[in-house]
Structure 1
Amino acid sequence: MEPLSEKQIRTSFVNCTKGEAARLKLPLGFAELPWEELDFLGWVDPGAPLRAHLVLPRTDGPLGITLRAPATKPSSAMKSSLCQICLTGHASSGVSLLAAPLAGVRGRQGNTVGVYVCADLACSLYLRGKRQPKLRVVRYEEDLTVEERVARATDNLDAFVAKVTGG
């Protein structure tokens, strides 16, 4: 992913108001992000821990989506969960259900779509082996290359984004 400026990020959001986009906090360590290892930028808002944000590269400019986490997260270290984007297995506390308001009128009416995703939104780093789940869970061996796993995750994320944007 090519590095993005703060302005590019804030103007990319399609499912929140301009005021909400202006108030969101950028990820901690924004200046030191490993852009070359990211397929998308994802972070939990440091100023509002029940909010998360995704910014995806697109040919016509970045596309941002804001998400909400439930106020309570019942989870158990004894159970495991799978991220629907990168298919990384975590203890269930390592995966969060995030809901995105739909873009446009449908979102203003309160309609949302959800996805179970790595709680830290670091799918790109898990795919490349740069980060490991906190607790070991059963890991299924795949014969896919890193590039093939990245392509699958990108397809999964694109399918979610299509639901949010109506495209």
Structure 2
Amino acid sequence: MIALTESTVRSSFVNVSLRERKAIVLPADLAERDWDRLDYFGWRDPKSPLLGFIVAEIDGNAVGLQLRQAEQPTRSRPQCSWCSDVTLPNDVVFFSARRAGGAGKAGNTVGTLLCSRFECSANVRRLDPPAYLGHDAEAARDRRIESLRTHVDGFFRDLMAG
């Protein structure tokens, strides 16, 4: 992922108003992030715990989305739609996001199940134990990374299509 600055992150959001964009609380440690090990950048607002923010690189540009976590918990232990981690090392919650442009202003949203603290990049990079004799754990990890990137790209493009 491209390295992000505060101004790049703040200007990247496509599904919020200008007022909402200015109110976004950004993480203080942007400069210390290991951008090469992130497929997208996500964080939660400590003052508004139901809000989440993700920024991904789409066609070489930073694009940001604001998400809202559902207030009601899911009834079962779901699997993240992006990293598809079956070991569930973290909570997975339902998020919705307004579409970009006029569709979002009209109230249209899209929802998905995601790792609650956006741990997908770390989840897909873990080397799992060999599933069978001759299993190539590194190739499996590379496939999980590519799958995550495909899921993120598809979600962003769907929301931007409005």
Instruction: Report the TM range for the smaller structure's normalisation.
Output: 0.7 to 0.9
Rounded to whole Å, the distance in 2 between the matches of 1:83 and 1:26 is 24
Aligned CA-pair RMSD:
2.5
Rounded to whole Å, the distance in 2 between the matches of 1:108 and 1:93 is 33
Task: Quote the residue 1:89 is aligned against.
Answer: 86
Maintained 8 Å contact 1:14/1:64: yes
Is structure 2 residue 128 aligned with structure 1 residue 165? Answer: no
Give the TM-score normalised by structure 1. 0.82
Maintained 8 Å contact 1:100/1:112: yes
Note closer, same or farther for the CA distance 1:129–1:70 as it changes in structure 2 (3 Å cut). same
Note closer, same or farther for the CA distance 1:81–1:17 as it changes in structure 2 (3 Å cut). same
1:156 is aligned, of 141, 151, 162, to 151
2:119 is aligned, of 98, 119, 122, to 122
Rounded to whole Å, the distance in 2 between the matches of 1:126 and 1:21 is 29
Maintained 8 Å contact 1:85/1:157: yes
Maintained 8 Å contact 1:82/1:90: no
Structure 1 regions of 5+ residues with no counterpart? 131-138
How big is each residue's C-alpha offset from its partner over 1:47-89, in whole Å with a ceiling of 9 and x where there is no partner?
Answer: 21111111001334201111101123245xxx53210001013
Note closer, same or farther for the CA distance 1:33–1:60 as it changes in structure 2 (3 Å cut). closer
Task: Quote the residue 1:103 is aligned against.
Answer: 100
Task: Quote the residue 2:62 is aligned against.
Answer: 62
Q: Which runs of 4+ in 1 moved over 3 A?
A: 28-31, 90-93, 141-144
State the shift of 1:102 in Å.
0.5
Give the TM-score normalised by structure 2. 0.84
State the shift of 1:44 in Å.
1.3
Identity %: 30
Task: Quote the residue 1:14 is aligned against.
Answer: 14
Structure 2 regions of 5+ residues with no counterpart? none
Maintained 8 Å contact 1:80/1:90: no
May I ask how many residue pairs the two structures share in their alignment? Answer: 156
Paired residue type of 1:51: L
Paired residue type of 2:21: A
SS of equivalent to 2:114: strand
How big is each residue's C-alpha offset from its partner over 1:13-33, in whole Å with a ceiling of 9 and x where there is no partner?
Answer: 110012211111113543422
Maintained 8 Å contact 1:69/1:99: yes
Maintained 8 Å contact 2:39/2:148: no
